[in-house]
Amino acid sequence: MLPPCPARAALDAPRPQRLRQVHAAQGSSSELGVLAGFQNPTAGTVYINRPCSYVFQNPDHQVVMPTVGSDVAFGLGKLKLPLDEVRLRVSKSLDAVGMLSYSQRPIQTLSGGQKQRVAIAGALAEASKVLLLDELTTFLDEHDQIGVINAVRDSVAADGEVAALWVTHRLEELKYADGAIYMEDGQIIIQGDVSTISKFIKKKQARYFGHFEL
């Protein structure tokens, strides 16, 4: 259950070919839930370009089919596309996240990071224009973390039509973004370029830890 989230502050939507990250103390997942349509804001109105796709923190909640290719194709069933179009979309989206050679691999043989990349491929196959990414690297080791980050960056840069909003608590991931937003308790505190947000967070951390040194 996501906590209530007011829509009192506006998020600047990232332009195409842009990856924007939300670094949050609390409330960012609720913000994504509102943007994805999973819950209604307690106040205000939300507008977002469609189609958009939400990629969960835990890939096991989203990757459900027995093989990589069938999982990416699964979401296309509702679109009633010709078989050739389905195959083309699956191949193109898997290639975008560096997983094309894994198309026949059983899902249970993949690492957590590879599963996340398959989930992203599924979103791309549905021609989503906005990717809503909820702390994708929380359960990943460093190798898989970098693999997922690169997959997202390659996806948003591939054709200039996809934008991504990435929620993270990992400060080191900010360097991969083109812009950032810092939130607390569901409210936007500051938004701007990565350098500005990074400095703001580090100052807050220094003040916090400084209290324990007195």
The amino acid sitting at 133 is L
Rg (C-alpha) for the chain, rounded Å, is 18
- Rounded to 10 deg, the angle between the 142-158 and 83-96 helix axes is 120
The amino acid sitting at 201 is I
Buried b (16+ CB within 10 A) or exposed e, 187-199: ebbebeebeebbe
d(CA 210, CA 176): 28
Q: Which of 148, 193, 159 is nearest to 56 (CA)?
A: 148
Which residue among the candidates 85, 126, 135, 213 is catalytic per the annotation?
135
Residue 57 and residue 135 in contact, taking contact as beta carbons nearer than 8 Å: yes
135 in catalytic set: yes
CA distances in angstroms from 7 to 10, 75, 76, 128, 165, listed in the order given: 7, 29, 31, 23, 16
The tokens 């609390």 sit on which residue?
26
Give catalytic residues, as residue numbers: 135
